[in-house]
Amino acid sequence: MNRPRFREQVLQAREEAIVASVNRLLAEKGFDAMTVDEVVADVGIAKASLYKHFTSKEELAAAAMVKVLERALDEVARVGGLGLDALGRLQAMARWTYDQQLAGQMPALPAQNSTLRAALTADKAYVDRLMQLSDALGAWIVEAQGDGQLDAALPPELVLYTLFARACDPVLGVMRAGGNHSDGQIVDWLVKTCFRGLGA
């Protein structure tokens, strides 16, 4: 097996550092507030070096989202082996999403941005991983509906999009900033209300 040459290793390490920086900055500031200048300053490289890897801010965001989706797929595989029922697996994934937010590992992307949306839909790695994650969660949703654990009258895609919305749920940050409750309590309540609503 051929080992990558030193130059290739350096380029790969630099690209990983760029994506890690973008992921953190997107989680802290969001897409609109993050700048390419901040990324290069954070990584400690010249802007020309960054442009050898990524040609735009949108491409940077797409690369960060690919990494998030890869982590989510790894978590799906882990949770799938825990012996939980379908609802338990979905709840575990919602909890993981909140934990990623708490750790500053969940990029904040705007819902309405045509250039970003175009970059994401044109990125094959992003689309492939998003479809894999959607298929896995969708199968669990249908299973949970069949078991009577989730409302079978709801379209499965509505449940899926509700779960995806947990990745950018502002309630977590607001509750945490209040300082009145532990992170564990907040996550427990958010998972509970996600699946059981606000009823008594």
Task: Kindly give the confidence (pLDDT) of every residue in the chain, 200 residues in length, as a single tens digit, with 9 standing for 90 and above.
Answer: 566 687 788 778 888 999 999 988 988 888 888 999 999 999 999 999 898 889 999 999 999 999 999 999 999 999 999 999 999 999 999 999 999 999 888 887 777 778 888 889 999 999 999 999 999 999 999 999 999 999 999 999 999 999 999 888 889 999 999 999 999 999 999 999 999 998 87
pTM of the predicted structure, to 2 decimals: 0.86
Query: Rounded to whole angstroms, what are the CA distances from 80 to 145, 170, 175?
Result: 17, 27, 30
Measured CA to CA, the distance from residue 67 to residue 63 in angstroms comes to 7
Residue 71's Cβ-count burial label (10 Å; 0-12, 13-18, 19+) is middle
Query: Rounded to whole angstroms, what are the CA distances from 123 to 59, 93, 100, 113?
Result: 8, 24, 23, 16
Fold of 56-196: Tetracycline Repressor; domain 2 (1.10.357)
